[in-house]
Amino acid sequence: MTASANALLGTVVDVLALLALPPLLLGVINRVKAIAGGRRGQPLLQPYHDLLRLMRKGMVFSETTTWIFRAAPLVTLVATLLAGLLVPLGGGAGRIGFEGDLVLFVYLFAVGRFFTTAAALDTGSPFEGMGAAREVTWALLTEPAIFFVLLSLATLSDSLSLDTMLLAPATGHVATLVLSAVGLFVVLLVECSRVPFDDPNTHLELTMVHEVMVLDHSGPLFGAILYGAAMKLFILSTFLVRLALPTLDDPWAGRGVALAGVLGIAALIGVVESATARVRLSRVPNLIAGAALITAVGFLLAVR
Amino acid sequence: MTEVVSGVETHNGGAVATPHEVAPEAFQRRILAAADAGARVVAYYGEGHAPHVTLTAVLADDRSGRLEILRSRVDGPSLPSLTPQLTELHLFEREVFERNGLEPLGHPWLKPVRFTRDGDVVGVTDYYRVEGEGVHEVGVGPIHAGIIEPGHFRFQCHGETVFHLEISLGYQHRGVEGGILRGPTKRVLHLVETAAGDTTIAHTLAHCEAREALAGTRVPARAQAIRAVALELERLANHVGDLGALAGDVAFLPTASYCGRIRGELLNLTAALCGNRFGRGLVVPGGVAFDVADPAELVERLAVIERDATGAVDLLWSTPAVRSRFEETGGVATATAQELGLVGVAARASGVAVDVRSDHPTGMYRLAHIPMSVATSGDVYARASVRWLECARSFAFVREQLTALPRGPVRVPLGPLEPASLVVALSEGWRGEVAHVVRTDAAGGLASYRILDPSFHNWSGLAMALRSEAISDFPLCNKSFNLSYCGYDL
């Protein structure tokens, strides 16, 4: 096989993994939580069945909603998918990628968030407005953390492209990488609405953050939201794995390590969710600000 | 100089001849005087319709274990409200207005209780509103996201902070009390069992003790012991279930999963007593319908349950993340709890030491004392820890009773009811004080039947617990009270 064919095949595999694997992460998290709780738990592939079930359902639209409500899930999904294409899984570059794409990466998520919160406000429900307010407040606090991580990586790799930043070996800066990884893990938990920041299992609207914004969506559009949220989890996990694990010369081995790492992060989330309770909503900003500070220290060490 | 009237004195489960009616002014003066002296209002209700209403008040002196019954006939459309002086009457007076049409003049907020007047639509009423910059209103229910009973909660919020919570119920009003009065007799027990389905034993116990008192029947010791065992098992199942649900509300999975299972095991113990997990059909007038065949086997199963429950709940106390959520959340000050007349776990968690089992014991509780479990902080943590303290004591009590069950029959026939009498029967359900007030007519039939579930007293406690609290903590506070909607709506 020629080198270019190999690279093409790698790209296809990367994209397929991005499309197919996200729900599996939710299955892994649920399984770990079930085992920790002394239960057998739902099937590992249950999230896929849930998505298929939603795709076959009809939809209900409130009369007060506008096109934003219908467009938001798809816009968010597409934005997330594009952001996913910017992150190298483990092989070489070859998908979308250019100098400065790290800014696009962050703002693609912001576009998704903008539409999700706009759709929530579109319903006019007091619950959804409350959720939107919480989501935006927290996003305001997670953004600095993400940017400090990106700045650290840009400094270490002397590049503004995610491909180079995440694939170039950054040995000799263990402290920066560790601090960035810790901060990014907190960001991941916040962004993907996991315990201790949010509780994806609760049915209590008043305590929800992300879930409450999508209460009025149903059927395929709701499926698109859940799928997009799982994909976000996959993307941020990939990012974190690439940050934390050494880059291998062989792209296929690199892919294998990355995928194993992503599943490992899902298991780690399951452990965190089993071992701790949700923090009080009013204390969440302190925790996120703490994560931002940690990444800031990492950045200072990188530019020192 | 005004005449000094006092009511007829009795005790829990003591039938008395229907007290004479006193003048409304004397009636009201006496209630205020008794409350000043530390008495608590157990029941306050009307019979008949304005302009001719007979009011009955039952006051409890918890220190001496005495009950005082006052009756008064009011001729006229209204009566000055006592609520401004005695807050715990606020809901009682609203109820008398709704049921009997007697208007309490000067009541601060005369709203429907169960929306039972002609033309009422449940939930349609004036709600308290806070206006101003940044103030918003959140309405929750009556249809909820989980499979729970219907009730409407309206929050006046500023950002995440709750200024005021108003709770509007009545969706489950079935007319339990009217059904009991109408008979037929065989249906009565079923109505009582389902007045609040999770409090079956406590309600049937109060009902049967009331009828037994009116009939002058003495219940055999073995039946009394089995009743007490069933009441404590009901408490254990619900307390363990609640502790698990509290853990679930803060997303702490291990305790939530284990307690869900352990609650099932405890319900199965009740099923082993009578064939029903909620104790339906166990307590009957004159004793219990089923004898315990093999108490040793129950003791063995209980030991395993106690070990598992201790493990699961200890995890709750030893996890700092859980404690930090429970502590200083949803606090009710002792003074507030007293003023509102809270009962049961909610009162004891706020430092108000009331417990029918200690203050007004009947049956087996007169012989085997259960120490009262009290906390002082009044927050979610206090309500959780009082539950667990009570569990520990109930485990010991059930074990003790089952290992030394008295011998003899478990049921005796019930004679006819004493005519023209009144009885107040209290039992300490897992939520708190259950009161049944029964009056017979001149022929020995039921003339009035009043049920008070602890939830009737305690819903306003939840509303107060939410003042200045985060709205996201409402589910946790609500769970820490875990009140009954149908027990309130009846």
pLDDT tens per residue, range B210-244: 999 999 999 999 999 999 999 999 999 999 999 99
How many Å lie between the alpha carbon of B257 and the closest alpha carbon of chain A? Answer: 6
**Which of A207, A209, A214, A287 has the most B C-beta neighbours within 10 Å, making it the best mutation to test the interface with B?**
A207
Angle at B9 between CA B362 and CA B360, to 5 degrees: 20
| Minimum-distance CB partner of A273 among B160, B253, B476 | B253
Residues B204 and B100 in one domain: no
How much of chain A exceeds pLDDT 70, in percent? Answer: 96
pLDDT confidence band for B387 (50 / 70 / 90): very high
Which pairs from A256-265 meet CB under 8 Å and 24+ separation?
A256/A90, A257/A90, A258/A89, A258/A90, A259/A17, A259/A21, A259/A89, A259/A90, A261/A237, A262/A21, A262/A25, A262/A234, A262/A237, A262/A238, A263/A24, A263/A25, A263/A28, A265/A185, A265/A188, A265/A237, A265/A240, A265/A241
The answer to whether B155 and B162 are in contact (CB under 8 A) is yes
Rounded Cα gap, residues A79 and A89, in angstroms: 18
Give residue B1's pLDDT. 41
The answer to whether B447 and B419 are in contact (CB under 8 A) is no
Residues 248-277 (B) with a CB less than 8 A from some CB of A: 249-254, 256-258, 261
State how beta strands B78-80 and B283-284 pair: unpaired
Residues 40-99 (A) with a CB less than 8 A from some CB of B: none
Considering only CA atoms, which of B458, B484, B433, B461 is closest in space to residue B58? B433
**Coarse DSSP helix, strand, coil percentages of chain B, rounded to the nearest 5 percent:** 45, 20, 35
The answer to whether B287 and B219 are in contact (CB under 8 A) is yes
The answer to whether A221 and A98 are in contact (CB under 8 A) is no
Give residue B219's pLDDT. 93
Rounded Cα gap, residues A192 and B250, in angstroms: 18
Give the residue ranges of chain A where pLDDT is below 70.
1, 91-95, 168-172
Q: Kindly report, residue by residue over B344-385, the tens digit of the pLDDT.
A: 999 999 999 999 999 999 989 999 889 999 999 999 999 999
State how beta strands B421-428 and B103-105 pair: unpaired
Judge: A277–B146 Cβ closer than 8 Å, yes or no.
Answer: no
A280 interfacial to chain B (CB closer than 8 Å): yes
Residues 209-268 (A) with a CB less than 8 A from some CB of B: none
Question: Which phi and psi angles does B79 have, rounded to 5°?
Answer: -150, 145
H helices present in chain A, as ranges:
3-20, 22-36, 46-55, 67-86, 101-122, 126-157, 162-167, 174-191, 219-244, 251-275, 284-303
The token pair that represents B309 in the structure block = 């429950």
Judge: A277–B258 Cβ closer than 8 Å, yes or no.
Answer: no
B318 interfacial to chain A (CB closer than 8 Å): no
The answer to whether B86 and B32 are in contact (CB under 8 A) is yes
How many Å lie between the alpha carbon of B115 and the closest alpha carbon of chain A? Answer: 26
Q: Kindly report, residue by residue over A17-52, the tens digit of the pLDDT.
A: 999 999 999 999 999 999 988 888 899 999 999 999
Give residue B357's pLDDT. 92
How many Å lie between the alpha carbon of A38 and the closest alpha carbon of chain B? Answer: 7
How many Å lie between the alpha carbon of A39 and the closest alpha carbon of chain B? Answer: 8
Which pairs from B398-401 meet CB under 8 Å and 24+ separation?
B398/B229, B398/B232, B398/B233, B398/B236, B398/B302, B399/B299, B399/B302, B399/B303, B400/B368, B401/B225, B401/B228, B401/B229, B401/B364, B401/B368
Least confident of B167-176, B180-189, B265-274, B405-414: B180-189
Which helix or strand (DSSP H or E) is residue B384 part of? helix B380-403
Answer whether residue B336 shows pLDDT above 90. Answer: yes
Per-domain residue ranges of chain A:
10-303
Considering only CA atoms, which of A96, A120, A288 is closest in space to residue A217? A120
Residues B240 and B359 in one domain: yes
Question: Which phi and psi angles does A20 have, rounded to 5°?
Answer: -95, -30
Average model confidence (pLDDT) across chain B: 91
Rounded Cα gap, residues A211 and A226, in angstroms: 10
State how beta strands B52-61 and B66-75 pair: antiparallel
Judge: A276–B474 Cβ closer than 8 Å, yes or no.
Answer: no
Residues B72 and B211 in one domain: no
Answer whether residue B448 shows pLDDT above 90. Answer: yes
Q: Which residue in chain A has the smallest CA separation from B315?
A: A275
Domain stops at, among B71, B90, B105? B105
Residues B99 and B208 in one domain: no
How many Å lie between the alpha carbon of A292 and the closest alpha carbon of chain B? Answer: 21
Whether residue B293 is contained in a domain is answered as: yes
Q: Which residue in chain B has the smallest CA separation from A275?
A: B252
Whether residue B284 is contained in a domain is answered as: yes
Rounded Cα gap, residues B42 and B435, in angstroms: 7
Mean pLDDT of B279-301: 92
Residues of chain B with Cβ-Cβ distance to A203 below 8 Å are: 145-146
Whether residue B478 is contained in a domain is answered as: no
Count of CB pairs separated by less than 8 Å, A with B: 86
Domain stops at, among B85, B105, B125? B105
Least confident of A158-172, A199-213, B139-153, B285-299: A158-172
Residues of chain A with Cβ-Cβ distance to B140 below 8 Å are: 205-206
Residue B18 lies in domain: 8-105
Rounded Cα gap, residues A240 and A265, in angstroms: 9
Which helix or strand (DSSP H or E) is residue B56 part of? strand B52-61
Q: Compute CA distances A288 → A182, A281, B250, B259, B275, whole Å.
A: 11, 12, 19, 32, 53
How much of chain B exceeds pLDDT 90, in percent? Answer: 74
Rounded Cα gap, residues A162 and A104, in angstroms: 10
Handedness of CA B123, B87, A206, B318 (dihedral sign): negative
How much of chain B exceeds pLDDT 70, in percent? Answer: 99
Residues of chain A with Cβ-Cβ distance to B251 below 8 Å are: 195-196, 199, 201-202, 273, 277-278
Q: Which residue in chain A has the smallest CA separation from B248?
A: A202
HSE at residue A76, side-chain half, CA atoms within 13 A, is 28
Residues B215 and B357 in one domain: yes
pLDDT confidence band for B4 (50 / 70 / 90): low
**CATH code of the domain covering residue B236:** 1.10.645.10
Instruction: Name beta bridge partners: B71.
Output: B21, B56
Whether residue B188 is contained in a domain is answered as: no
Mean pLDDT of B123-148: 87
Question: Which phi and psi angles does B48 have, rounded to 5°?
Answer: 85, -175
Written as one letter, the residue type at A144 is: P
The answer to whether A59 and A220 are in contact (CB under 8 A) is yes
Which helix or strand (DSSP H or E) is residue B32 part of? helix B24-36
Residues B305 and B200 in one domain: yes
Q: Is A204 exposed, middle or buried (0-12, 13-18, 19+ CB in 10 A)?
A: buried
How many Å lie between the alpha carbon of B146 and the closest alpha carbon of chain A? Answer: 6
Written as one letter, the residue type at A228 is: G
Counting the structural domains of chain B, the total is 2
E strand intervals along B321-468: 421-428, 433-440, 446-452
B137 interfacial to chain A (CB closer than 8 Å): yes
